[in-house]
Chains A and B, each alone.
Chain A
Amino acid sequence: AQTVTQSQPEMSVQEAETVTLSCTYDTSESDYYLFWYKQPPSRQMILVIRQEAYKQQNATENRFSVNFQKAAKSFSLKISDSQLGDAAMYFCALQGGSEKLVFGKGTKLTVNP
């Protein structure tokens, strides 16, 4: 079975500061993908960043980057220069062979002005 664990139910950050959201996962598959999705209040889920497990290089998308530690099965998200619009629920998700997503419980991020 595949599992995803997000141990931080809530996080807060000051505007323009950096915050890191944690995620650990477990899978027996060798080929998989990891994602961070953002779900703003009352709005739909959108992709923030993806990481292919076979790639050693950490993915980066503008202010968002990941720290992918395959051996430790860890996949954290770093948000730099936080903006008010970054406030949302953030979900870590694992995708295996069937391409269904297994999500963590989420981390609620608050950005303080």
Chain B
Amino acid sequence: DTGVSQDPRHKITKRGQNVTFRCDPISEHNRLYWYRQTLGQGPEFLTYFQNEAQLEKSRLLSDRFSAERPKGSFSTLEIQRTEQGDSAMYLCASLPGDELHEQYFGPGTRLTVT
């Protein structure tokens, strides 16, 4: 069990560019969550997957954001036409679906839009 991994750890991009982040959950965890954390705030839910199905999206997830989880393994989060307000830490978490309900978090991808 290597834990949840995220790539890249840091991303600096210019406004208007597209960025894509990757999350590799703990193997056999069937649920995967994306959160966004801005400075001084707690994480906010963006979206989640059960296997390959995207079951819920937050209103925070504008049409510039898209997430996928092909084959129910890793997931990608893409932001198109980035804006300065997108600067944040993007956290991924996975959940095994057992009775403990514990989400295991990755280290996050810190996005800075200049």
A: residues with CB less than 8 A from B are 4, 33, 35, 37, 43-47, 50, 91, 93, 95, 98-106
Contact = CB atoms under 8 A, between A and B. Distances in A.
Given A43-B107, A46-B105, A99 B31 contact: yes
Contacts of A101: 33, 35, 43, 45, 93, 103
Interface of B: 31, 33, 35, 40-45, 48, 55-56, 91, 93, 95, 100-103, 105-108
A99 B91 contact: no
Contacts, number: 52
A109 to B, nearest CB: 15
CB-CB nearest 8 A-B residue pairs: A103-B42, A45-B105, A100-B45, A44-B107, A91-B42, A33-B101, A103-B43, A44-B105
Interface secondary structure of A, over-half rule: strand
Contact of B108 (A33, A44, A47, A106): A44
